[in-house]
């Protein structure tokens, strides 16, 4: 007999060799039908793989991310099996699950959407057959034999460290080199759909072979799949890349380079509105604005630890003619630390809050950049607060309140996630003591705030734990945006000090925080959240004035001059078009208000006001219009 311990601390005895699926079924038939994957002693485990001794067991269903991941991983294999059955010469490379879909990179020329129906039909055939999905551990030599004619699998095999287990998974007469785990059988996969096919380079390297990346998605029921497809259609209509182009907000140019957006005047106006809002809040809260360079000596980032723990995310080193080494900055914090260290500091100076709209650069593979949400150069509404340890909890709470103010102003709902260091600690810098202090302080602050939150090990920054805000947009998608982070490590690495009330030197603590996170990503999310129909205070053009005829132009421009003087962003459409066509154009541009001017409006010194969405608000005097717009913009 073996002892199996569940997450609630309860234990039960089972016969040695029992499987997680059998344990789930012994608990209840409903759980037995719903369970998709297991974790045994912290390791992901196939449901049909026997336990080999006492174990801590967790069971995952569709409601758990781990369950959905295994479901879609098995869906990837089902798709690959179907492709191989239809196209025997296809070479399968790798096929990971993603958050709401999956893909497989395939060496197959000419694969197109016209093949989707045949592949889906074959997937349905294999799902109906309900093949058992069987794990088999093999020697390296056996794996080399099995994949002797497949250079891609041999490369994957070569990347598996010596001594690590090598496993294949079989379903029917098809098998694949895979770490797993998987569902018990293909019949568990109930509803699926192929989505698209795109090009991708093997291992993301443009020097390697170009492959076909076949995307699909799957759900436990056709109803859930249909709902997902509907959300995808809505997402396509809201796609910030499409809307950004139609509304003239930003430009993505291959000549400039992937992941490096150009902001148009309208897009810049939108960004400035966001910056102006947060800048006003910073001034109220005692921040001081700073500006730092876009590049720095590699020595700065060696000192901070980024050249060690963050090197893969940094652009290559640049060397000057005299041998000095520089790098594009991936973060702003070492610059702010240098500013802090440039003068002696007293306990009376703290907290010292330094803020910057700082542009940073991070290396992303060309296949991974997209629109504004994944870029190589982006601007953070960044700040670093230097403070005494006894000030940490209250200051942290204040920073959280600022993030919530920003999200509230924009009507964005959120969940909070505490990111802690992973147990192995391999990708972090700093001492165990510093990490213990910072994690305890952050958790204390979150408890005092009474915030509901999840905890994610391995999601900490390289120097400290963080509280991330996962924002839900109008159609339910989630985005990681604002963050507040605690850092005992970098003050220690840079030897920062302040003179305490006792006259002795003490070490300050740091808070890193960015309510927007990346302005690029935040703006992309806002475009999709509002479907380009921004609230008045954010809209690049807030009012468009539409004179019906040339004789109404003087009053139209007088109205525009008054509104501009009151701080509003105004355009006059004086084109020789019918007013109905002008209204239609303004609607397409998603302008919040249209002020139509004809003979009656000129005579009454007023406008006929229309709101976005073709709502006629009637005639309104100019002074009343100004007050109405001011009130709406303020709220």
Which residues carry out catalysis?
333, 362, 380, 382, 384, 466, 512
Would you call 307 helix, strand, or coil by DSSP? helix
Kindly state the tokens that stand for 412: 């964005």
Distance CA 554, CA 186 (A): 72
Backbone angles phi, psi at 159, to 5 degrees: -85, -10
Would you call 10 helix, strand, or coil by DSSP? coil
What are the respective helix, strand and coil percentages of the chain, to the nearest 5? 40, 30, 35
Backbone angles phi, psi at 4, to 5 degrees: -115, 125
Cis amide bond preceding 351, omega within 30: yes
Distance CA 280, CA 290 (A): 15
Distance CA 573, CA 546 (A): 5
Residues 6+ positions from 484 with CB-CB distance below 8 Å: 396, 399, 400, 403, 466, 467, 511, 512, 513
Q: Longest C-alpha distance within the chain, in Å?
A: 95
Burial 551-574, CB ≥16 within 10 A → b, else e: ebbebbbebbeebeeeebbbbbbe
End-to-end Cα separation, the chain, in angstroms: 66
Q: Rounded to the nearest 10 degrees, how much is the dihedral formed by the CA atoms of 575, 579, 584, 590?
A: 70
Distance CA 366, CA 115 (A): 27
Residues 6+ positions from 544 with CB-CB distance below 8 Å: 570, 571, 572, 573, 582, 586, 589, 591, 593, 594, 595
CB 507: neighbour CB atoms within 10 A?
A: 14
Distance CA 626, CA 240 (A): 31
Sign of CA dihedral 509, 515, 519, 521: positive
Distance CA 597, CA 181 (A): 67
Kindly state the tokens that stand for 16: 């040695």
Nearest to 510 by CA among 336, 278, 286, 360: 336
Distance CA 282, CA 40 (A): 48
Contact present, 373 and 240 (Cβ < 8 Å): yes
Residues 6+ positions from 4 with CB-CB distance below 8 Å: 11, 12, 13, 14, 18, 23, 51, 54, 55, 56, 57
Cis amide bond preceding 181, omega within 30: yes
Sign of CA dihedral 297, 298, 304, 309: positive
Distance CA 416, CA 428 (A): 22
Distance CA 414, CA 406 (A): 12
Nearest to 103 by CA among 92, 114, 89, 115: 92
């Amino acid at each position: 007999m073996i002892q199996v311990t569940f997450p609630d601390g309860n234990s039960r005895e089972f016969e040695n060799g029992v499987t997680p699926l059998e344990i789930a079924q012994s608990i209840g038939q409903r759980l037995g039908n719903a369970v998709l994957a297991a974790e045994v002693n912290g390791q992901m485990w196939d449901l049909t793989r026997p336990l080999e001794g006492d174990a801590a067991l967790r069971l995952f269903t569709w409601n758990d991310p781990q369950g959905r991941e295994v479901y879609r991983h098995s869906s990837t294999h089902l798709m690959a099996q179907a492709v191989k059955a239809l196209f025997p010469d296809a070479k399968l490379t790798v096929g990971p699950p993603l958050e709401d879909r999956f893909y497989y990179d395939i060496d197959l020329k000419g694969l197109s959407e016209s093949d989707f129906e045949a592949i889906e039909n074959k997937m349905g055939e294999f799902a109906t057959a309900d093949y058992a999905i069987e794990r088999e551990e093999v020697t390296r030599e056996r794996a080399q034999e099995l994949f002797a004619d497949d250079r891609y699998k041999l490369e994957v095999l070569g990347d598996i460290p010596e001594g690590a287990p090598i496993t294949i998974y079989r379903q029917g007469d098809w098998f694949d080199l895979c770490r797993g785990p998987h569902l018990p059988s293909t019949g568990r996969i109930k509803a699926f759909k192929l989505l698209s096919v795109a090009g991708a380079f093997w291992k993301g390297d443009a020097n390697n072979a170009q492959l076909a990346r076949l995307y699909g998605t799957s759900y436990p029921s056709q109803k859930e799949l249909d709902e997902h497809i509907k959300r995808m259609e809505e997402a396509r209509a809201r796609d910030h890349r499409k809307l950004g182009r139609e509304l003239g907000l930003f430009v993505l140019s291959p000549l400039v380079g992937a992941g490096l957006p150009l902001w148009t005047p309208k897009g810049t106006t939108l960004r400035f509105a966001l910056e102006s809002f947060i800048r006003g809040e910073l001034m109220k809260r005692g921040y001081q604005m700073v500006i730092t360079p876009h590049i720095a000596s590699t020595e700065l980032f060696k000192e901070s630890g980024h050249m060690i723990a963050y090197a893969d995310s940094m652009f290559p080193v640049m060397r000057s003619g005299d041998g000095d080494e520089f790098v594009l900055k991936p973060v702003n914090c070492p610059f702010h630390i240098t500013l802090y260290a440039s003068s002696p500091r007293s306990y009376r100076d703290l907290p010292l809050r330094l803020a910057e709209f700082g542009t940073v650069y991070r290396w992303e593979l060309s296949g991974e950049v997209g629109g504004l949400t994944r870029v190589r150069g982006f601007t953070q509404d960044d700040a670093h607060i230097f403070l005494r340890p006894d000030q940490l909890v209250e200051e942290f709470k204040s920073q959280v309140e600022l993030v919530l103010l920003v999200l509230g102003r924009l009507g964005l709902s959120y969940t909070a996630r505490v990111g802690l260091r992973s147990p192995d600690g391999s990708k972090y810098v700093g001492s165990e003591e510093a990490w213990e202090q910072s994690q305890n302080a952050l958790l204390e602050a979150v408890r005092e705030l009474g915030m509901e939150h999840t905890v994610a090990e391995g999601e900490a920054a390289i120097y400290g734990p963080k509280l991330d805000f996962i924002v839900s947009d109008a159609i339910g998608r989630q985005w990681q945006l604002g963050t507040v982070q605690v850092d005992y490590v970098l003050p220690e690495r840079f030897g920062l000090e302040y003179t305490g009330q006792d006259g002795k030197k003490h070490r300050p603590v740091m808070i890193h925080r960015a309510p927007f996170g990346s302005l690029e990503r935040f703006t992309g999310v806002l475009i999709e959240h509002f479907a380009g129909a921004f609230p008045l205070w954010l809209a690049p053009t807030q009012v468009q004035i539409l004179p019906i005829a040339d004789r109404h132009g003087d009053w139209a421009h007088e109205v525009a001059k008054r509104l501009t003087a009151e701080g509003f962003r105004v355009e006059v459409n004086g084109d020789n078009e019918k007013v109905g066509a002008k209204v239609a154009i303004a609607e397409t541009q998603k302008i919040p208000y249209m002020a139509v001017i004809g003979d009656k409006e000129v005579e009454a010194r007023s406008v006929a006001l229309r709101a976005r969405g073709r709502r006629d608000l009637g005639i309104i005097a100019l002074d009343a219009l100004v007050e109405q717009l001011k009130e709406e913009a303020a709220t």
